[in-house]
Structure 1
């Protein structure tokens, strides 16, 4: 039986003034591609805002930004190779001008094979899987009504 690795993570919903959202396409061996917001694991006792800054620098080359409101939390389980994870993610809004992503982490570059700025309409019509599945709806709600009173909590999703 495989032990489950529990970890905390942060992700950024990067939004331009035109309401475009930056997503990364993940390509894992033997699995369908999927799109996800930039971010990743919190290291040790690292504060969430520090982890978010580190992850955005590594994954997309963004360093000059202020984290916005916490929009939602998601807990999900997934496998990478022989390892099984249960990950709790915090999603923050980050408003930024459009930029060209540049990855500095060579290890992550082996599975992250594309970046794309998506309009809300494009997100709603995207046929590839998106994690979380309700990302377009939650972003749309945030843009129409502002941040929730408290972060939404999404049910556990399993790959």
Structure 2
């Protein structure tokens, strides 16, 4: 209880009790330009907005299977990991779900393939490379500035 009293006394002594009007007079209502510039450098949002139409265009193309989609992504100027970042956001399938799949990968895909439905028919995709590292945002290079790079390292 004495700690609470001490903190209250400190607030009174340092004049931390201010009215809304007093706070508004001294408050910073906008980010300082240095922080705005830093945020612009670190944030992926502007890049996602800039590439959204390209992502939608790729998804709109008529492909017969996943291989066709992968070919289009490879041939586009959109980095594969940036395409994946768009998919992760669109599907709301983030880091926690990636971790769950990663730990259960061999149980979920014991034959190294996935069956899926597309264009009214069932199809199968055989994984070319199985993950040797945990699936997460960092290893998939879909976090921070790594998303902006065209090359993906395995």
State TM-score, norm by structure 2: 0.24
Q: Larger strand proportion, structure 1 or 2?
A: 1
- Of structures 1 and 2, the larger Rg is shown by 2
State TM-score, norm by structure 1: 0.24
Q: Which has the higher contact order (CA 8 A, sep 6+)?
A: 1
